[in-house]
Amino acid sequence: MRGTGIENLFDVIVDGYSVKNTKPAPDIFLFTAKELGVKPEDCAIVEDAEAGIEAALVGNMLSIGIGPEERVGKARFHFEKIGDITITKLLEIMNS
């Protein structure tokens, strides 16, 4: 992200070095929520990995899986590919 010239578009930038425990521990998501001043239950996590979905679930966050069901099937919502998601669908999910 750094060096791309778009850093100013984000309120918070975190990575695996920001926390001690990596996924499937929810630490990175919880840390990000804290940095943003948002409660975990008000967050949505879009993930393409099983470990990320597990982390979202343990962190009490809305999980949205992208990819094969065998990899992200535990997510609350599932999409085969990123192109299947629209802002309208995301808003519907967030309000459900």
pLDDT, one tens digit per residue, over 27-82 is 999 999 999 999 999 999 999 999 999 999 999 999 999 999 999 999 999 999 99
Identify the band that residue 1 occupies on the pLDDT scale cut at 50, 70 and 90: low
* Lookup: tokens for 61: 């966050």
DSSP string for residues in the chain: -TTSS-GGG-S----GGGSSSPTTSSHHHHHHHHHHT--GGG-EEEESSHHHHHHHHHTT-EEEEES-HHHHTTSSEEESSGGG--HHHHHHHHT-
Q: Please report the domains of the chain, with CATH numbers, ordered by start residue.
A: 7-94 (3.40.50.1000)
55 burial level (CB within 10 Å; 0-12, 13-18, 19+): buried
